[in-house]
Structure 1
Amino acid sequence: MNYEIIQEKQFKYIETQGGEETLLLLHGLFGALSNFEGILDHFGNSYNVVVPILPIFELPLRKVSVTGLVDYVADFIEYKGYDKINILGNSLGGHISLLYVLNHPHKVKTIILTGSSGLFESAMGTSFPKRGDYEFMKKKVQGTFYDPKIASKELVDEVFDIVNDRNKAIRIIATAKSAVRHNLGDKLHRITVPTLLVWGKEDQVTPAFVGEKFNELIENSELILLPECGHAPMMEHPEIFNQHLESFLQSVGAETLGH
């Protein structure tokens, strides 16, 4: 995966400029660009696929929260002049997507959520394991996936380095706590744009029942449950994930043309 990271003002991002429509991807708390490799490779030529790097470790401490990240995404979308975007979020990225849509409904064409927080999540708890415990961290990262082999050494090392950096660890905990406080259960009925929910049946972080609850609360939504899949379907089953995403985007496009 060779995509240049563009830096403009306070924003760092990837942009493929492959098509008219924008597909904006938002990563999770421990997310990285590699999480979206499958989507970038599949959609990069047909959509303008954009991945802003969320400033979880750069925001001023007083702004470290889900709402601070939503403000950042809103500023980024405004700065780039995007309109009628397709917004896709995994884990915390899903939570940010939902809050963005609630605040800017006219800017969004579709939402795609996969393993999204916002209703219920069981992640790190409220404290970190003692620093330096690599094996514990490795098990935690492996537990994100149905197939532990997806948790490459690079991925485990990345998470391990984050939790062993005191400044980063504080920010991760602050963001995770703020996500738990920002429960969206009473707001989701306000979302009317077409929504695709793709969940792993074996997701341990936001279990399958969370996807079912999102499906129940978001009126115009469809839920796809993938077997033998954990918290990051786009990493664990990229081809199946891309097929579902493609047919969803095409069906919404066809409906739009029909109106």
Structure 2
Amino acid sequence: MAHSLKKEKKYSYIEAGEGTPIIVLHGLMGGLSNFDAVTNHFSKKGYKVVIPELPLYNMPLIKTTVKHFAKYLHDFIKFKEFKEVILLGNSLGGHIGLYHTKLFPESVKALIITGSSGLYENAMGGGYTKRRDYEVIKKKAQDVFYDPAVATKDIVDEVYETVNDRNKLLKTLAIAKSAIRHNMSKDLPNIAAPTCIIWGKNDGVTPPEVAVEFNELLPDSELYWIDKCGHAAMMEHPEEFNKILDSWLQKRGF
């Protein structure tokens, strides 16, 4: 990881740059290093990029929900004394960002979602009956990307370790159920924050039609596609992702 982890009170996070805060929200199996290219680029462009470690596996099971993670994010924003933030979320992180914006709209200046859950996701927490078979887990990790080579051994090892830890697996399944339960189709028309939707055309986890539906339901959104790209655009095509986002932020005056 290019940036060191800060630890303050109950929070662990990466912070780089100065300026308007962009809070980056990782997904269910997503490490903070997945956003290295985003951090490196935007921390030099007048933004303070902050990536908190979400307590996906540290909350009591009853609180392992999208709603509680959104409240945790709110507490973190208050702890950092940020008045208004830009939220950028991938996969589950996008869902948490959207739910946070529903609960605390006054603190969100803008939203960026990529491969976000919240409407539909393809077996986000399922398919782990053969979790001890490394090759099965490797294939599952590779399927997240258009180019399977993006799923490095480190990424596969981390997923394998997670699904073979009983506590983490239980929490993973609880989060997946919570994501389905907290469907946001009725909430999205009430989310006024300007939203940039960046989506892989070949996303098999949250397919392209999900992005189209997000764009139709959100009142002030713009949808951008990245070709030959799966579920984690900021990892597979970091330069294109940053270029799209940079242009959108400039256009919107953020």
Same fold, TM-score > 0.5, yes or no: yes
- Of 202-211 and 118-127, the range deviating more from structure 2: 118-127
Aligned match of 1:134: 134
Deviations 1:91-140 (A, max 9, x none): 00000000111111111111000000000000345462233111110010
**1:77 alignment partner, SS class:** helix
Identical aligned residues as a percent: 50
CA RMSD of aligned residues (A): 1.1
Q: Which residue does 1:25 correspond to in 2?
A: 24
Contact 1:115/1:232 (8 A) holds in 2 = yes
Q: Which residue of 1 aligns with 2:253?
A: 253
For 1:38, the equivalent position in structure 2 comes to 37
- Partners in 1 of 2:94 and 2:38 — Cα distance? 16
- Alpha-carbon contact 2:25-2:52 (below 8 Å) kept: yes
Shift of 1:10: 1.0
TM-score normalised to the size of structure 1?
0.95
Cα displacement string for residues 162-195 of structure 1 (whole angstroms, at most 9, x for unaligned residues):
0010111000010111101110001101111111
Indicate the residue corresponding to 2:150 in structure 1: 150
Residues 1-259 of structure 1 mapped to structure 2, 5 A cutoff: 1-16=1-16, 18-45=17-44, 46-124=46-124, 126=126, 128-253=128-253
Contact 2:2–2:36 (Cα < 8 Å) also in 1: no
State how far apart, in whole Å, the 1-side matches of 2:238 and 2:131 are: 33
CA contact (8 A) 1:64 1:171 kept: yes
User: Which amino acid counterpart does residue 145 of structure 2 have in structure 1?
Assistant: F
- Shift of residue 251 of structure 1? 1.3
CA change 1:91–1:100 in 2 (3 A) is same
Quick check: 2:111–2:195 contact (8 Å CA) kept in 1?
yes
Q: What letter corresponds to residue 133 of structure 1 in structure 2?
A: D
| Paired residues, number | 253
How far apart are residue 245 of structure 1 and its match?
0.6
SS at match of 1:196: strand
Shift of the alpha carbon at 1:34? 1.4
Amino acid at match of 2:65: S
Asked if 2 retains the 8 angstrom alpha-carbon contact of 1:115 and 1:231, the reply is yes
* CA distance, structure 2, for counterparts of residue 67 and residue 216 of structure 1: 23
Moved >6 Å (runs of 4+): none
Give the letter for the 1:55 counterpart. P
Whether the aligned pair in 2 keeps the contact of 1:127 and 1:173 (CA below 8 Å) is: no
Partners of 1:102 and 1:191 within 8 A in 2: yes
Corresponding residue for residue 257 of structure 1: none
Q: Which amino acid aligns with 2:227?
A: P
Residues 201 and 225 of structure 1 are in contact (CA less than 8 Å); yes or no, is this contact kept in structure 2? yes
Unaligned runs of at least 5 residues, structure 2: none
Measured in 1, the distance between the counterparts of 2:125 and 2:162 equals 16
Structure 1 unpaired stretches of 5+: 255-259
Native 8 Å contact 2:131 2:137 kept in 1: no
